Structure 1
Amino acid sequence: MKFIETAKIYGHLISFLATQNRYNLSYHPGAIDRNRFITAAEAAKQIPDGSTVISVGMGGHARCSILFRAIRNSYLKDKTPKNLTWMTVSAQGGRGKAPGTVEEVAVSGLIKEYISGHVETAHKQLEMGANKEIEIHILPQGEITQILHNQSEGNTTSLSEIGIGTFLDPDLGGNTAATPHSTKSYVKKNGDLLEYSLPKIDVALFNAPYADSEGNIYFKNASAITEIREAALAANYNGGKVIATVSKIIEKDETSISLSSKHVTHIVVNPANEQTASIKQKKYWPMFTEGAKECMEKSIAKMNTINKITSYTPKRGPVENVLARMAASLFVKVAQKGNLVNLGIGLPEEVGRLVYEGGLFDDFTFSSETGVYGGLPASGLFFGGAINPQKMYSSAWIFNHYKTSLDITVLGTLQVDSKGNVNVSKRGEGVKNYVGPGGFMNIADSAKTIIFIGSWMAKAEFKLKDGKLTLIKKGIPKFVDEVLEVTFNAKAALKRGKTVYYVTTVGIFKLTEKGPELIQVMPGIDVKKDILEASTAKIQISENLELVPESITTGNGYKLAWD
């Protein structure tokens, strides 16, 4: 990237950091319907005590930042609204650092319960849960979006096979509670299926790009839609309120209306609203919008520069680069042209990068659980979006589409056990170590082929020299006899005919009836010492064990190509 472009991005971030904690809660656009268009401070007063509130969005996409701050300030000043049950579909926290996230409402007395698919970034909610100030409940993202859809038709439950044989299965002592002191669970057995439920949505909050003077909402130039429509219609059916925040008022365009004014109770205009993390809607980046045709190389460089400056995407070393090449080569080997693909956050993003750099990007359709469809999956700070996406659907739509159409997924792991079960939802003991499954369970359940990718050990030291890998210092095994929590049930996956791989620092494993079987090993790795004796998991060794090719271990002559 040219110096001048890099300088612009630094300026962009400096401006963002200087203003990210400023909110004009009293701003009103002026001569316009005063009943529908209200200030953020007034919006906070519209939320009844004891109600169930859902805030829409994922990560940096469509954050309701000004509403979070207004609700917080209202409670601190006037003790209202209070005792709220707060719901999100996915991650909306700032890891205890960033302002303008759902952590703004993590105040004792303001919320009494937090329900989400992913809680790792909501540090303040986790702290409240650990202190027994609130209950925290976890549901798969796909089930939350399905229930939102169902609530718009008068049904507060969802019947599903998702979660059977996992930490959510009541037959195995499972439930939705992440806090030991919780008094309820939102899942129960119903025949051969699990029945998930959620409280009725009383208030839906969302951030959309624009509204017209009549109150119609426009998604044009958004980076993701997520579950805006489902949340609004659920609140409508329940006789609740829908409060939107938009960046500005535009001229009415009947052909472009995304959500009719009849579904929206109040609108807060905030000129400082974001399109996505750090990017103001008024200066939106076209590369993240539906149907964009921006220069891919320039867009990638722009995205990568921000991720590098903010350190949101970790710097990958030689060993991790080999890991990524292993996974990308396996991906191309088992995938087919035209496949619909989902990539998880972290190391799976590296697979997308290599597929693009290898010239095979156009042979696949990539997608995200946000509903973003097509284009190159955005990484790091912008995960959930895409560069030049073809279409934008809702989260509920994409999860339902995945059930019949998702061909292959690449997902990260925390632990793998002797049976091949995977844990991604719990880092350790205690509420503060809880992560949640996010969209993982629905995605893994839908995909025909699953490639898990993760390091062999945590905090281990490896040395890569001349294409050979040496384990210098052992760390904490990630392949264990029994995972802390089953988020993916291997036996159920095999029963349904899925093909499952585990790509690790030391080699590639394939799921068999006996558990993970090592089918490729890194040159330099001693199978007995570095794998069998370094892990508490029971691991099978293939009779046809192969070495990872030199092109992968060194990168020399590495090329992705169809057979």
Structure 2
Amino acid sequence: MYQIMTAEEAVGLVRDGDVIGINSFLALANPFALHTALAERFRKTGHPGKLTYFASAGFGGWAETKLGDQPVVAGAVTKVVTSHLKSMPGVMRLTKENAIECYCMPLGVLSHMTRAAAAGHPFYISKVGLNIFVDPRIDGPGLNERSREELVKLVEIGGEEYLSYRVPKLNAAFIRGTTVDGSGNISFENEPVTVDALSMAQAVRANGGKVIVQVERVSNTYTRPRNVIIPGALVDAVVVCEDVPEEYRAVPILSGDIHVHPRHMDYWLGKLRGYAKGRDAEDCSADIIGLRAAQELRRGDIINIGIGIPEKVGTYASRMGMLPDITLTVEAGGFGGLPAPGGHFGATVGSDMVCDMATQFDFYDGGGLDACFMGAAEVDRMGNVNSHCLGELYSGIGGFANITGATKKIVFCCTFTAKGLKTAEQDGRIGILHEGRIPKFKKQISGISFSAKNALQNGQKVLYVTERCVFELTPDGLKLKEVYDGIDEKTQIRGLLDFELQ
């Protein structure tokens, strides 16, 4: 039977060496009070220590003093398994310093591993990850010298190659919901996502661990059974935090309290904290890319849009009046509406449905998407893409590998160069006002997040849209497909590459 207790009492249920499942999507649905209490308890007592944080979608708040970075920086957490690191500067720093173990795997794989843990499976078998960095023949999931555990193996089944991922034994779960009723049932009405809360609670309960849930309120009113995300029978401790900091407070257009009509998207997006409306006054590269990429949309498409420059595709789809005729999805579970930008990424504005994350990745892995629009840090001559690392800086793979693994059309949206690039557009002509210092298309890249070999074998159509040209993937590598008006092909494209271009 569950008990209501303070955050300090709840984290006292965690034992030294526990593997803690964190049910969050970056800052969304993140149990902030539990992270803080765990860090404070460790600083005072030295326990619990030698912990592992297992978090499919990351647990950071973009500062070492926020959310899940706190117990890692304090020293309580010495091992992290996740897909996304960019929001966790403390984890990134300590990984670079070789002070903790850190493993990065595709988001959908980790989500499915959570569900496999609930079923008691020791391994999760998938083709996702073959021929990219997580494949042990290339780099493997360990991000530093300290991270030597063999979590991924290459196996052959029926004459085909797969990767076998070792499923974790979860001893505790940190989950954030909205309401607990008299029976301990947890609902998520104020949260924009549920992530994989039920599977995580099931896995921990089956393993004899402790399920700890942070909520905003206690209610004597019982909701409809279908609205319950975690049944009370699976819950050990409930921590009530009525005073939610503004940055973690529910946003009605993200939780679904306000259903946004496609015609009202610009108005409501303008109300989101951190949302920048309109063009950059000094550079319009992202707008040029977003507008050109949006031309690849077809009415009736079901698509996914990544974070960063690809967000502009959703913006222009809205302005072109196409939103009613396409369906946008987010890997966190949103179907319909428009993906929320920036720090709200993972939520959806005006969604029709939000499912568990593992269910969304079932659809992605099965090839349900018609198109996806993704960012790229680097692209090599053969069309391979790096999106997860630059040198020793690991931002993580996120849902990138699953999303690009089986989608029919893949459109990478990135600038041709970085660091200092300034472009302008007038009457359809593009001008390069200042060239970037760092090339993004090069013979050798730092890591492989997307395998061109896999895409060609799967018959996928792949485009690379920049602010000056468009490339397409062929069996011989990149081929120049379009050069925009105002761009000199010889000096502003071919002359900046360290390889020969078709």
Tell whether the structures are fold-level matches, with TM greater than 0.5.
Answer: yes
Q: Tell whether 2:157 aligns with 1:187.
A: no
Q: Tell whether 2:464 aligns with 1:494.
A: no
Distance 1:108 1:218, change over 3 A: closer
Q: TM-score, normalised by structure 2?
A: 0.93
Per-residue CA shift, 1:333-381, capped at 9, x if unaligned? xx3x222111000111110011011111011111111111111211112
Q: Specify the alignment match of 1:556 in structure 2.
A: none
Residue 463 of structure 1 deviates from its aligned partner by 4.1
Q: Tell whether 2:178 aligns with 1:209.
A: yes
Aligned residues: 492
CA distance in 1, matches of 2:248, 2:72: 25
Per-residue CA shift, 1:178-222, capped at 9, x if unaligned? 112322131111111111114311101110111102210112232
Q: Tell whether 2:314 aligns with 1:342.
A: no
Q: Specify the alignment match of 2:443 in structure 1.
A: 481
Residue 59 of structure 1 deviates from its aligned partner by 2.2
CA distance in 2, matches of 1:235, 1:403: 26
Per-residue CA shift, 1:517-546, capped at 9, x if unaligned? 111112222212221120124321xxxxxx
Q: Tell whether 2:120 aligns with 1:120.
A: no
Q: Could you tell me the percent identity over the aligned residues?
A: 27
CA distance in 2, matches of 1:129, 1:462: 33
CA distance in 2, matches of 1:313, 1:257: 40
Per-residue CA shift, 1:247-286, capped at 9, x if unaligned? 0012122433222101111111111247xx7252xxx433
Q: Tell whether 2:337 aligns with 1:371.
A: no
CA distance in 2, matches of 1:93, 1:470: 36
CA distance in 2, matches of 1:381, 1:324: 19
Q: Specify the alignment match of 1:225 in structure 2.
A: 194
Q: Specify the alignment match of 1:166 in structure 2.
A: 132
Q: 1:239 aligns with which of 193, 202, 208?
A: 208
Distance 1:461 1:61, change over 3 A: closer
1:235 match: secondary structure: helix
Q: 2:241 aligns with which of 261, 265, 270?
A: 270
Residue 134 of structure 1 deviates from its aligned partner by 0.8
CA distance in 1, matches of 2:189, 2:291: 37
Per-residue CA shift, 1:419-475, capped at 9, x if unaligned? 0000001022x2xx1111100000000211100000100124344354232364352
User: Does structure 1 retain, via aligned residues, the 8 Å contact 2:262–2:323?
Assistant: no
Q: Specify the alignment match of 1:84 in structure 2.
A: 51
Residue 314 of structure 1 deviates from its aligned partner by 9.1
Q: 1:260 aligns with which of 206, 228, 231?
A: 231
Distance 1:339 1:463, change over 3 A: closer
Runs of 4 or more consecutive aligned structure 1 residues displaced over 6 Å after TM superposition:
311-314
Aligned-partner residue type, residue 353 of structure 2: K
Per-residue CA shift, 1:101-156, capped at 9, x if unaligned? 11111235311111100112211112222222211101111111111111111113
CA distance in 1, matches of 2:200, 2:212: 11
CA distance in 1, matches of 2:373, 2:115: 27
User: Does structure 2 retain, via aligned residues, the 8 Å contact 1:210–1:217?
Assistant: yes
CA distance in 2, matches of 1:146, 1:535: 40
Q: Residues 58-207 of structure 1: matches in 2 within 5 Å?
A: 58-96=25-63, 99-172=65-138, 174-191=139-156, 192-207=161-176
User: Does structure 2 retain, via aligned residues, the 8 Å contact 1:246–1:273?
Assistant: no
Per-residue CA shift, 1:286-331, capped at 9, x if unaligned? 322348434556664343344447x7999473233222211112x2
Q: Specify the alignment match of 1:24 in structure 2.
A: none
Q: Which ranges of structure 2 fall in alignment gaps of 5 or more residues?
A: none
Q: Specify the alignment match of 1:55 in structure 2.
A: 22
Distance 1:298 1:326, change over 3 A: closer
Q: If each structure's helix is expressed as a fraction of its own residues, which one has the higher value?
A: 1
Distance 1:425 1:183, change over 3 A: same
Q: 2:288 aligns with which of 297, 302, 322?
A: 322
CA distance in 2, matches of 1:312, 1:273: 27
User: Does structure 2 retain, via aligned residues, the 8 Å contact 1:482–1:537?
Assistant: no
RMSD of the TM alignment (CA)?
Answer: 2.1
CA distance in 2, matches of 1:465, 1:128: 43
Distance 1:94 1:132, change over 3 A: same
1:444 match: secondary structure: helix
CA distance in 2, matches of 1:465, 1:455: 15
CA distance in 2, matches of 1:523, 1:167: 37
Distance 1:312 1:397, change over 3 A: farther
Q: Which ranges of structure 1 fall in alignment gaps of 5 or more residues?
A: 1-32, 541-563
CA distance in 2, matches of 1:414, 1:486: 10
Q: Tell whether 2:488 aligns with 1:522.
A: no
2:500 match: secondary structure: coil
Q: 1:426 aligns with which of 375, 389, 410?
A: 389
CA distance in 1, matches of 2:141, 2:425: 46
1:53 match: secondary structure: strand
Q: Tell whether 2:354 aligns with 1:408.
A: no
User: Does structure 2 retain, via aligned residues, the 8 Å contact 1:58–1:90?
Assistant: yes
User: Does structure 2 retain, via aligned residues, the 8 Å contact 1:323–1:503?
Assistant: yes
CA distance in 1, matches of 2:478, 2:327: 29
Aligned-partner residue type, residue 452 of structure 1: F
Distance 1:297 1:338, change over 3 A: closer
User: Does structure 2 retain, via aligned residues, the 8 Å contact 1:312–1:380?
Assistant: no
Aligned-partner residue type, residue 272 of structure 1: D
CA distance in 2, matches of 1:122, 1:222: 21
Distance 1:308 1:37, change over 3 A: closer
Q: Tell whether 2:354 aligns with 1:392.
A: yes
Q: Specify the alignment match of 2:8 in structure 1.
A: 41
